[in-house]
Each structure stands twice: as C-alpha cells, then as structure tokens.
C-alpha cells in the first residue's frame, strides 16, 4: 500500500475511531436522510498519534500558500487550526457562526484578519455551507481568503460550484474512496459494511427510505 498523505490520514482516522459504519442503526444526517456511516473528525482529538499526524500533514500541505493568519470555524475547525498555527508559528483566529449577542459583539476572535492573507482550516466538507459562511465572515472583516484546507472531503457537486463562485482553492488531505480502500485492505470494515456504504453513495435517498425506522 502506498504511503501518500491520503493513506496516512485514512489510517489516522481509522485509528481514532472517526470512521463509523453502522448499517443496522444508521446515522441521521442534517439533510434528514439516514446513512450507514458517519465521519466524526472530533474523535481525532482524543488520539494523540492520529492528532499529531493530521496536524503535521495540514501544516506541511499549506505552508506553500504563505498565510499570515490561520483561522478555524467554531467548533470543529478551531482545535485543528490552533495546532497548525502553533506548528507554523502564526497568529490564529476563530469564527463564530454568528456575532456574539453580548460583550464586543464580535464574530471573529483572536488575530486581526483585516488586510491579512488568511487560510481557513476545517475538519471536513460536504455541502460547503459552513465553509462558505466562514469565508464571507472573514472577507467581511477585510481578510484575503483564497485557500481552504480540510482533513476529509465528501464534497457534493453543489459544494464545488459554491467554492468556484467564492474563488477559493481547496486542499484535501483525504477522501472517502481512499478511506474505504484502506478500511477494506486493512480489515477495518467487512465486505458487507463496505457494500452498504457503496449502496448509500449510489442512491442516498433510496437507501435512506429503505432503512428509516
């Protein structure tokens, strides 16, 4: 098996228990569909080795963009952005979904982003709704945002269109195809579990309808 970054990150996700397959008790998604699998990148935080591998990989991947500030969205992106900012010895900021209703009323905390080249770090991307929201908030404060780094991608076609309209490039460490390959090759998932995931990906609405209780 190759040792490229995507495979290394796949193993880190699996070691951390971040890739969960549960066809008999499916996960409810924000879309309202149920799915046989779920990616929970927050579990990485509890696994020191996986956490270190992923933070190192992001840092090495994004240094070429020469950012002034590293930013993360509340909540999932914040710990990863913090680790990356530490490694690159850069200022760090975080973005709330909405401005505070008290105190300073700020939406962005930490480093000053106005006039700075800001790189957004997030845990995953599907529809790009949250990422788009964070980018607009940063730009609203005068930041230059051209690059986003994500640990994991299961990006939809609508997400690609959204990112294109926003004019940002996306750096992806790992995708579902690689994760499934590693899970299968290393015996981390059974053939039946892989088949259920593939059936969902082929037709999410049908799989969800057939497996909703």
3-state secondary structure of 109: strand
Q: What is the DSSP letter of 167?
A: T
Evaluate if pTM is beyond 0.85.
yes
* CB 43, CB 18: distance < 8 Å: yes
Burial level of 210, CB count in 10 A (0-12/13-18/19+)? exposed
Distance of CA 146 to the CA centre of its chain: 17
**What's the number of CA atoms in the CB half-sphere (13 Å) around residue 191?**
0
**Ramachandran bin of 203, using left for φ above 0, alpha for ψ from -120 to 50, beta for the remaining angles:** beta
pLDDT of 1:
40
Architecture field, domain 5-211: 3-Layer(aba) Sandwich (3.40)
pLDDT along the chain (213 residues), means of 10: 79 96 94 94 95 96 97 97 98 95 90 98 94 97 98 92 96 95 95 96 96 89
Beta strand pairing call for 144-153 and 37-39: unpaired
pLDDT of 3:
53
Q: Cα–Cα distance between 56 and 74 in angstroms, integer?
A: 21
> Angle at the Cα of 18 (from 98 to 210), degrees rounded to 5?
90
Q: What is the largest CA-CA distance in the chain?
A: 53
């Amino acid at each position: 098996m190759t040792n490229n970054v995507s495979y290394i990150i796949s193993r880190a996700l699996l070691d951390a228990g971040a890739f969960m397959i549960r066809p008999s008790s499916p996960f409810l998604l924000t879309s309202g569909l149920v799915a046989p699998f779920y990616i929970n990148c927050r579990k990485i935080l509890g696994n020191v080795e996986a956490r270190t591998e992923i933070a190192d990989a992001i840092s090495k991947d994004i240094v070429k963009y020469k950012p002034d500030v590293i930013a993360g969205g509340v909540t999932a992106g914040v710990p990863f952005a913090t680790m990356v900012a530490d490694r690159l010895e850069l200022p760090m900021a975080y973005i709330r979904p909405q401005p505070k209703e008290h105190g300073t009323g700020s939406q962005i905390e930490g480093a000053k982003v106005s006039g700075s080249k800001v790189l957004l770090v997030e845990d995953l991307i599907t529809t790009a709704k949250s990422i788009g929201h964070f980018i607009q908030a940063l730009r609203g404060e005068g930041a230059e945002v051209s690059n986003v780094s994500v640990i994991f991608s299961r990006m939809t076609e609508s997400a690609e269109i959204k990112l294109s309209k926003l004019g940002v490039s996306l750096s992806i460490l790992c995708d579902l195809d690689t994760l499934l390959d590693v899970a299968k090759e290393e015996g981390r998932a059974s053939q039946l579990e892989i088949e259920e995931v593939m059936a969902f990906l082929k037709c999410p609405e049908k799989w969800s309808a057939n497996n909703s209780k």
